[in-house]
Structure 1
Amino acid sequence: MKKIKNIVFIGLLTFMVIIVLYPTVTDFSIYNPGWNGYLRLKERLNAVIITENFEKTLNSIVDTEETTLITVAYKPYSTSELETIRNYLLHGGTLILMDDYGYGNIVLSYLNVPLTIAENSSLLDPFVKYKNKRFPKAEIAGEDKYIILNHASAIIVDEKAISENIVNISAYSSPFAYLDLNRNEVWDEGEPKGPLPVAVSLKYGEGTLIVISDPSIVINSMLDFENNLEFVETLVKGKKVFIDQTHIPKSLHEQLKEAAFNIVNNYILYPLTYIALLIGIAVFMLKRTIKKPR
């Protein structure tokens, strides 16, 4: 019986180590070192990660005006979460809302701002692009610099809001870009043509709302394209950055990994802890397999 308990214990420890060490493939995950993850973004911005208790974390932030929250809107927000975001902005926080085909418009509608993210429509550019029309280049406003987009959308802004400087355009597509409303990959009469906004900002209470119509500009594989990283670093302005991971869909592996990290309060992230844990398992196994002299 004791031997069975030891085997079960070792098995559970080994399973936990595998869960933690094996990388995830979840889009925009800070645990994903692959092409579509946010691991490098987290490291470059030295960001604090929100994996649970979204509202509690935001409400506990002191010196809100010295912080920036990055959220990818790929899961719905509850009414209480939306109100928490609103209060965060009103008290001086900077919110970077990144979305292309998700739930970003729920946030924008709740905040009652004069802009929306074009839904179910890809921004294509057959001429000013990186490798194909699904990777359009966008010019940073006021600078001769570009960011590279990846299967992006565009932002529809009320013209009056622009003319009255309520909304400021931070980056926009070339005049050759268009929103492919019917998804036939060619421009048709009536489809919006460039230049189209892909990043905008506006004051909201004491804070700043920034909307970017492509969360992929800062995935691991695109962070070093053109001026993508520099663009985001300029937006956060050296503030303390929080990356919200509670509004992206997660695989079972991702959920187990987050649970493991939360149990040990993230200390397991340190490499020495991995080594110590593996050594501990090895020593335990050796002690149980080596027969004691009679």
Structure 2
Amino acid sequence: MASTPLSDDSRLPSLSRPQLLLTAYTVLTVIALVYAASTSSAAFGVYNSQWDGAGELRDIAGEAGANVTVGTNVSQYPTTGADGTVAVVLSPAESYSSSEQARVAEFVQNGGTLIVAEDYRPHGNTLLAAVGADARFDGRAVYDNRNYYRNSSFPEATPAGDYPETAGVDTVVLNYGTTVSAGDATTLVNTSKYAYLDTNGNAELDNEEQLASRPVVTSESVGDGRVIAVGDPSIFVNAMLERGDNRRFVRNLLADHDAALLDYSHAGSVPPVAAAILAVQRSDALLLFCGVVLVGTLLVFDRRLDERLRDRLREYNSHDTDPQLSPDGVEQYLRARHPDWETAQIERVTEAVIKQRAERQRND
């Protein structure tokens, strides 16, 4: 018996050139919008993968064995069991309120390690004072006309002794950094004796500016915790991690901690997509809501898919196909008519067609 001819009317229609261009433009626009909403161009930003961002800081903390959290609220500082957590603050753009300062101070008092990296903004010193640290950032740019990476504004500093933070570190390279007035804190890294503080901002050594070795990184105990002051937040950015032994130094600072909190609560805005993800991670209620929405969407999609298959089945039953067509013939017919269908879908429809055909024959 002759079989039903295979139909080719199910092929996808070809798109015209304007339609192709519109489709490509739409896809590129969506990709650009998603990328823009999930990245940042802010200096020291953890979602900034450019040279001045700190996107690699998360990777370094993870490599050091810490569970990394990007903090957007000071409430994320643990106040109990803080001895296994290190928090990193990079040149905050805004001052911490009195209640926020108290939260960070409680974190340190209960055993947390706080790293504050600052150069010229005043908020780093305010935070150091609030948590009870003795160290302070000078705020003037430090230059070195003899020991530098590219020019005198990139002075090379060296460890002041054998400390865990400086293990395997020979040189720390600064980028327009400042020095730290140590007070009673321990100096971890010093400039060379040829460094000077540029008091008048002309980037030159003048008569009133003295050559001397000065601290650029200090460490001190505060309560049960520790505070580390770094006179240059640029040490943590992507490009500077590759200078000298900066990467090893940063990794040492984060090592031996179970958790690392990258505090961006006062460092400008976080990209919308990243902010939404972080909000969901912090809130059990939001996480449950998103789960319910996802499950509901899948159920609706599954129901519509079933309805679509039933509609297609009725369509096939209405065709004048050969009632004696074998299952292989039905499957061949479906593959020719719907080349975009997956094998599992074709098998389900074939089985349903054969089953309904048998039921009709019994009824007849």
TM bin, normalised by shorter chain, reads: 0.7 to 0.9
- Give the corresponding residue for 2:70: 50
Supply the distance in 1 between the matched residues of 2:57 and 2:31 (Cα, whole angstroms). 29
AA of the residue aligned to 1:42: R
Aligned to 1:17: 34
Q: Name which of 262, 269, 287 aligns with 1:243.
A: 262
The match for 2:178 is 153
| 2:102 is aligned with 1:83 | yes
Instruction: Give the superposition deviation at 1:78.
Output: 1.0
Which residue in the other structure is 1:105 paired with? 125
2:214 to 191, 196, 218: 196
In the other structure, the counterpart of 2:45 is 29
- Normalized against structure 2, the TM-score is what? 0.62
Rounded Cα–Cα distance in structure 2 between residues aligned with 1:190 and 1:112: 32
Equivalents in 2 of 1:259, 1:235: separation in Å?
A: 27
Residue 104 of structure 1 aligns with an amino acid whose one-letter code is G
Instruction: Supply the distance in 2 between the matched residues of 1:241 and 1:263 (Cα, whole angstroms).
Output: 18
Distance 1:45 1:205, change over 3 A: same
The one-letter code matched in structure 1 to 2:115 is I
Aligned residue number for residue 277 of structure 2 = 261
Q: Secondary structure at the match of 2:101?
A: helix
Distance 1:123 1:106 in 2: 21
Report the CA distance between 1:111 and its aligned residue.
3.2
CA positional deviation for 1:157: 2.6
Residue-pair matches, total: 248
Counterpart for residue 65 of structure 1: 83
**Matched position secondary structure for 1:223:** helix
SS at match of 2:86: strand
Superimposed CA distance per residue, residues 2-38 of structure 1 (whole angstroms, 9 cap, x where no aligned partner): xxxxxxxx9x9778624345x4211111111110111
Q: CA deviation at 1:248?
A: 1.4
- Give yes or no for contact 1:153–1:214 (8 Å, CA) kept in 2: yes
Residue number in structure 1 paired with 2:160: 141
Gaps of 5+ in 2: 1-26, 163-168, 283-310, 316-364
RMSD (Å) for aligned C-alpha atoms: 2.9
Is the CA contact 2:40–2:47 (under 8 Å) kept in the aligned structure 1? Answer: yes
Q: 1:175 aligns with which of 193, 196, 217?
A: 193
Deviation for aligned residue 1:73: 3.0
Which string of whole-angstrom CA distances, capped at 9 and with x for unpartnered residues, describes residues 124-173 of structure 1? Answer: 11110000111110001226711111110111233xx2xxxxx1100010
5+ residue gaps, structure 1, are 1-9, 162-166, 267-291
Task: Quote the residue 2:134 is aligned against.
Answer: 114
Separation in 2 of the partners of 1:190 and 1:206?
A: 41
1:205 aligns with 2:205: no
**CA 1:229–1:14 in structure 2 vs 1: closer, same or farther (change >3 Å)?**
closer
Question: Which TM-score applies when normalising by structure 1?
Answer: 0.76
- Is 1:227 aligned with 2:245? yes
Letter in 1 for 2:239: S
Q: Which moved more, 1:62-71 or 1:172-181?
A: 62-71
Q: Kindly report structure 1 stretches of 4+ aligned residues shifted beyond 4 Å.
A: 12-16
CA distance in 1, matches of 2:84, 2:279: 29
Question: What amino acid sits opposite 2:101 in the alignment?
Answer: L
C-alpha change, 1:124 and 1:206, in structure 2 (3 Å) is same
Deviation at 1:88, TM superposition (A): 0.7
Cα 1:51–1:19 change in 2 (3 A) is farther
Measured at CA, do residues 222 and 81 of structure 1 come closer, stay the same or move farther in structure 2, by a change above 3 Å? Answer: same
Which has a greater percent of helix? 2
Larger radius of gyration: 2
More off after superposition, 78-87 vs 38-47: 38-47
Q: What amino acid does structure 2 have at the position aligned with 1:154?
A: T
- C-alpha displacement at 1:106, in angstroms? 0.5
Shift of 1:112: 4.0
Greater strand percent: which structure?
1
Q: CA contact under 8 A between 1:50 and 1:57: conserved in structure 2?
A: no
**Identical residues among aligned pairs (%):** 27
